[in-house]
């Protein structure tokens, strides 16, 4: 009898050892760079309350679209509404799952402690660009919405030939980092990409006549592995707790 009980106990232990440990639920969020800081600020509390691990990865709008079209797995996407519509039509996003989150404008940045140029009018903004030894913005070829807009704006203002030769183009990430490091004198990027960078100072938004405001929205992947957790995080991103974070990051809640 003792031998029988011992054998049963050993068999039970072997069975338990063969069972893999239960892991917490996990969701992957792909986000446009301008919204990354907002997502990261909301993740810790959500992870504690929901018991769900959130993996955050970012890129330009163009980069994210290519990654998704190539089959990259994810649960949530934060990007422009136009891109969401396009990806939903392609079957990459769950139809009707899009929720608008926030808007952000484009601003001008200089190194902390440097004189702030006057950009209060379109004419003075042009003068500031022409006077700067170097101007940084996102490389339009990378698919970043602000870089595409800025490059087209230079043409519209008639100063592309003067500014492009001294441009410091960033493939992705934070233009303000080039300003803080001294690699460029003046930068143009979305305000939410300027505010968090130490060593850089926001001069202000572009003049209203040439301002470009981007709206960001979130949508579920059509193949989300953890739909319930993803939907719960959407509520966090669009809830009242997000409003204060948006303000701190230089954004406004979407209307």
Please write the tens of the pLDDT for every residue from 58-107.
Answer: 998 889 999 999 999 999 999 999 999 999 999 999 999 999 999 999 99
Which pLDDT tens digit goes with each residue over 152-204? 999 999 999 999 999 999 998 899 999 999 999 999 999 988 998 999 999 99
Q: Decide if pLDDT at 118 tops 50.
A: yes
pLDDT confidence band for 51 (50 / 70 / 90)? very high
Task: Determine what percent of the chain is predicted with pLDDT higher than 70.
Answer: 91
Element (H, E) at 246: helix 240-248
Q: Decide if pLDDT at 140 tops 50.
A: yes
Phi (first) and psi of residue 104, to 5 degrees: -150, 145
Q: What is the mean pLDDT of residues 36-65?
A: 94
Whether 73 contacts 223, CB under 8 Å: yes
Rounded to whole angstroms, the Cα distance separating 230 from 248 reads 24
- What pTM, to 2 d.p., does this model score? 0.75
- Residue 24: what pLDDT? 62
pLDDT confidence band for 8 (50 / 70 / 90)? very low
Rounded to whole angstroms, the Cα distance separating 29 from 58 reads 8
Whether 234 contacts 228, CB under 8 Å: no
Name which residue leads in pLDDT, 45 or 14: 45
Q: What is the mean pLDDT of residues 119-147?
A: 95
Domains of the chain: residue spans and CATH: 25-103+214-253 (3.40.190.10), 106-210 (3.40.190.10)
Average pLDDT, whole number, for the chain? 90
Q: What share of the chain is helix, strand, coil (3-state, %, to 5)?
A: 45, 25, 30
Crossing angle, helix 145-157 and helix 122-131, to 10 degrees?
100
Q: What is the mean pLDDT of residues 110-133?
A: 98
């Amino acid at each position: 009898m003792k031998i029988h009980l011992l054998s049963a106990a050993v068999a039970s232990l072997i069975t338990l050892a063969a069972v893999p440990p239960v892991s917490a639920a996990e969701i992957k969020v792909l986000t446009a760079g301008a919204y990354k800081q907002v997502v990261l600020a909301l993740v810790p509390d959500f992870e504690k309350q929901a018991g769900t691990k959130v993996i955050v990865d970012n890129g330009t709008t163009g980069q994210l679209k290519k990654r998704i079209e190539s089959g990259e797995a994810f649960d949530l996407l934060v990007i422009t509404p136009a891109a969401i519509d396009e990806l939903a039509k392609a079957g990459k996003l769950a139809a009707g799952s899009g929720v608008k989150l926030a808007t952000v404008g484009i601003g001008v940045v200089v190194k902390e402690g440097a004189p702030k140029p006057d950009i209060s009018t379109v004419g003075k903004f042009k003068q500031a660009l022409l006077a700067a030894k170097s101007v940084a913005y996102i490389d339009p070829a990378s698919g970043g919405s602000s870089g595409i807009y800025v490059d087209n704006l230079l043409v519209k203002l008639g100063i592309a030939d003067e500014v492009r030769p001294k441009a410091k183009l960033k493939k992705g990430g934070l233009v303000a980092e080039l300003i803080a490091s001294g690699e460029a004198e003046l930068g143009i990027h979305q305000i939410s990409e300027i505010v968090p960078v130490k060593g850089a100072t926001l001069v202000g938004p572009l003049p209203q006549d040439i301002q470009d405001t981007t709206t960001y929205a979130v949508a579920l992947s059509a193949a989300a592995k953890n739909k319930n957790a993803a939907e719960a995080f959407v509520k966090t991103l669009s809830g009242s707790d997000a409003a204060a974070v948006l303000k701190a990051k230089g954004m406004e809640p979407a209307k």
